[in-house]
Amino acid sequence: MQLTRLQVLMVSTVVVCSIAAPWVLPTYYLYLLNLVLINIILALGLNILTGNSGQISLCHSSFMAIAAYAYTILNNDLHWPILLCAITAVGLASLGGALVGYPARRLGGIYLALATLAFLSLTQILIEEFPDITGGIRGLKIEKATFLGISTSSESLRFYVVAVACAFSLYVTINILRFPLGRAFDAIRTSPQAAQSLGIPVARIKLLAFTISAAYAGLAGVLFAMVVGFIDPVEFGVGASLRYITFIVVGGLGSIAGSIIGSIIFTLLPEGLRGVKEYSDLVYAVILLLSLVFLPNGLISLYQKLVPNKKIAKSN
Amino acid sequence: MQNNLMIKTHDLSLQFGGLQALQQISLEVPAGEFRGLIGPNGAGKTTLINCLSGAIQSSSGSIVFDNIEVTTMPPHLISHLGMSRSFQHVQLFGDRNVRDNILIGMHRQIKQSIAGQLLGLASSRRAEREAGLLADELLTRFDLKGIEHLSARQLPYGVLKRLDLARALSARPKLLLLDEPTSGMSEEEATDSISLLKELARQDGMTLIVIEHNMRIMMNLADRITVLHLGRIIAEGSPQEVTHDPAAIEAYLGEESADA
């Protein structure tokens, strides 16, 4: 992959800003930035599933919950090293993804939406029914641990972990989309028959998309538990899943930039609307409707519309 | 010489409810042959191709492809054995660019581990570069160079047809099934593309089964022609034989000349 000078400049700016962030930003803003990055990870994964492979999921918050609870329980009760907790948690989340992906091979559209919704209810019930392990509706507090000799209560450590995880997710997503796997995802969405006749095992690719996408959600779940320090089932309800769908639809389906923009806007928006709290739902809804009506291909299509114009302007 | 048959069907039948779409089709196409498939609308040509490629399961009968029984095999496995097809209504991947469309066609040849792809390991990059070279070669051959970065959705129909052909060939199949590969092309474009196809097929020893309405092209390029009518084979032979076959004339050719 050849980077242009502009891209190198952008990447290095982001890296420098990230290194400086914990020293410059006040605690609350750093916390928000963490949430933005976590949501980006989740949106990248969801967009691979929905935007590229064309399968809807209303249970991404469940994959997040599976990983968040697994991480917390392994950390609190078994005191495993946190890297091991995290890897196991992500593994369990993607196992959950495979579980949902298995019937998804034969389900499409509304039926898949309902199946994933059922999976979401199931995880919610399981969390609430085993309060001895999960804390039930009262939730769980994540106990402190150490990573590389530094306590997880250190804000800068948490931020760096989240930032590295986000960068890693971005790198993996770019790879997926430029290699045969990403092409196969796009192929099974646009024309399953043609994909099949070209030797692409459609069922297997669908399952793979779910498994990989759930791993992203799992990673987001682990980081969420670490950053917020407290988890309860309400956090991972259907509202959360719908919000993630909003991220990628408003940002732009099947686009990495779309996932990023959508996550940034919809994570920061509620904060920006604190002053007009009673109207915040209204503003949220208006933005959603406006973008669906005027930019059905997401905010990213705005950029795509502007760029060719620039090129034409230059040649003139 | 049983071994030289690329595809052989025995009593292949297909029923859609009460409709007998295919009736006891016994087709034998030797390796390396350019077989034309003609017949009036609704004769079952596309259905036959759908059956051969596994997209539709036949109700009875058997299909043997290159000495392997493929009657109940799923399409992607049949594809892995070396069969490619094109579609009557082009089924390209609109969001992806021209080059990616070719690369998707090469999916079964590009061997890469999933971990290698996720992490962008050197082995995956190398495999990708090698596939890219083959793709570029095809782009040049089909005169698609220069538009390889346009997304398929932006292209006119004639170019899409050419891309569809290039994509079907990209997997280097042993048997290529083409469903009206030249519809929407001008007479000249059509002749060029089919001659190119025939030349490529000869180089690789590829077998072709082509549905085509343009009889002039068929006469010049097909080795043998099979005529279908109402789901049955009513005539088969060299282009000259078929044009003089009374049943074929009645069902299809007569209609054609009456139109012209």
Mean pLDDT, chain B, whole residue set: 85
Q: Is B95 on the interface with A (CB under 8 A)?
A: yes
A160-205 pLDDT, tens digit each: 999 999 999 999 999 999 899 999 999 999 988 888 888 889 999 9
Min Cα separation A21/chain B (Å): 27
**Whether the predicted pLDDT of B64 surpasses 80:** yes
Neighboring chain B residues of A200 at a CB cutoff of 8 Å: 76, 104, 107-108
What is the reported pLDDT for A156?
84
Look up tokens 């940034």; give the residue: A264
Cα gap B20→A273, rounded to integer Å: 65
Taken in order A168, A169, A174, A175, the sign of the CA dihedral is positive
Nearest to A256 by CA among A180, A184, A178: A178
Q: Is B87 on the interface with A (CB under 8 A)?
A: yes
What is the reported pLDDT for A162?
93
Q: Are A60 and A239 in contact (CB under 8 A)?
A: no
Min Cα separation B109/chain A (Å): 9
Taken in order B234, B239, B245, B248, the sign of the CA dihedral is positive
- Do strands B207-211 and B175-179 pair parallel, antiparallel, or not at all (unpaired)? parallel
pTM of the predicted structure, to 2 decimals = 0.85
What is the reported pLDDT for A1?
53
What is the reported pLDDT for A5?
83
- Closest chain B CA to residue A203: B76
Min Cα separation B75/chain A (Å): 6
Q: Are A173 and A44 in contact (CB under 8 A)?
A: yes
A98-125 pLDDT, tens digit each: 999 998 888 877 899 899 999 999 999 9
Q: Is A44 on the interface with B (CB under 8 A)?
A: no
B3: pLDDT confidence band, cut at 50, 70 and 90? low
What is the reported pLDDT for B254?
60
B220-229 pLDDT, tens digit each: 888 999 988 8
B83-140 pLDDT, tens digit each: 988 888 888 888 888 989 999 888 888 878 888 888 888 888 888 888 888 889 888 8
Min Cα separation A274/chain B (Å): 39
B260: pLDDT confidence band, cut at 50, 70 and 90? very low
What is the reported pLDDT for A142?
85
B4: pLDDT confidence band, cut at 50, 70 and 90? confident
What is the reported pLDDT for A168?
94
Contact A191 B80 (CB under 8 A): no
B154-183 residues touching A, CB cutoff 8 A: 167, 171
What is the phi/psi pair of residue B173, to 5°? -75, 160
Write the CB contacts of A109 (distance below 8 Å, at least 6 apart in sequence).
A56
- Where chain A has pLDDT below 70, the residues are 1-3, 307-316
Of B75, B93, B167, the CB nearest to A186: B93
B180: pLDDT confidence band, cut at 50, 70 and 90? confident
Mean pLDDT of B48-68: 90
Write the CB contacts of B171 (distance below 8 Å, at least 6 apart in sequence).
A198, A199, B79, B82, B84, B105, B106, B107, B108, B109
What is the reported pLDDT for B35?
92
Output the 3-class SS for chain B. Answer: CHHHEEEEEEEEEEEECCEEEEEEECCEEECCCEEEEECCCCCCHHHHHHHHCCCCCCCEEEEEECCEECCCCCHHHHHHCCEEECCCCCCCCCCCEHHHHHHHHCCCCCCCCHHHHHHCCHHHHHHHHHHHHHHHHHHHHCCCCCCCCCEHHHCCHHHHHHHHHHHHHHCCCCEEEEECCCCCCCHHHHHHHHHHHHHHHHHHCCEEEEECCCHHHHHHHCCEEEEEECCEEEEEECHHHHHCCHHHHHHHHHHHHHHC
Interface predicted TM-score of the whole assembly (ipTM), two decimals: 0.81
Q: Where are the domains of chain A?
A: 27-238
Cα gap B162→A208, rounded to integer Å: 32
Q: Is A199 on the interface with B (CB under 8 A)?
A: yes
Report which secondary-structure segment, H or E, holds A122.
Answer: helix A109-129
Q: Is B110 on the interface with A (CB under 8 A)?
A: yes
